[in-house]
Chains A and B, each alone.
Chain A
């Protein structure tokens, strides 16, 4: 069975600091990878996704993620965070077989950006 580990439970950064949130998954085959963001009081929104091709994926709001197959990782990065990036971030994985399996989510990382 697939699983996703997000090692950082809560990250606190100052504005303009660089961000990297870790995500590791456990599945030896082909995977689709996703990062979702949940702003306070809002629904889950897709930041970016990886299906195939270039392992460096660029998403919305200046976020990017790099798929490193040998490390089973899909870390999320942003060069300079803003206060408005304060939110909960979820990494998720599924497999592209049988019409795509359901998403398996990590427990999430709460990001707090302070002035």
Chain B
């Protein structure tokens, strides 16, 4: 059973450019979340989607947007890139049925974005 897959694994962009990151959740997982992990920090929540609807948004500027597709895969878009957007972007998918004790977030390996 495939885990959470993210693409690309590494990306270098220049300031002002736009970037799209992709995530495929574990089969059967309908919830996808995006996190940003800056070096030396814990992951920070960006977005959560469930059944193609946005269910939560973290404290990030409007340059960050996301969407979820009918097959539950997701894209994270960042416009007008800044140097400070350099980070590891993590996608997590989650079970949303059954007892709450079964709920758990499974993370992908992330996309390392470097803005120069």
Contact = CB atoms under 8 A, between A and B. Distances in A.
A binds B: yes
B8 interface: no
A98 B50 CA distance: 12
Contact of A106 (B42, B94, B105): B42
A43 B100 contact: no
A52 interface: yes
B101 A99 contact: no
B52 to A, nearest CB: 15
Interface string B77-104: 0000000000000101010100011011
B65 interface: no
B73 interface: no
Given A52-B101, A102-B33, A107-B41, A44 B48 contact: no
Contacts of A108: 40-42
A67 interface: no
A15 B74 CA distance: 42
A101 B56 CA distance: 8
A101 B27 CA distance: 21
Interface in B32-76: 33, 35, 40-45, 48, 50, 55-56, 58
Interface string B12-47: 000000000000000000000101000011111100
A105 B43 contact: yes
Interface of B: 33, 35, 40-45, 48, 50, 55-56, 58, 90, 92, 94, 96, 100-101, 103-110
8 contacts: A6-B42, A36-B107, A52-B101, A99-B50, A99-B96, A101-B56, A103-B43, A105-B43
Given A42-B109, A51-B103, A100-B96, 9 more contacts: A43-B107, A43-B108, A46-B104, A90-B43, A92-B42, A103-B33, A103-B35, A103-B105, A105-B44
Interface of A: 4, 6, 32, 34, 36, 42-46, 49, 51-52, 90, 92, 96, 99-108
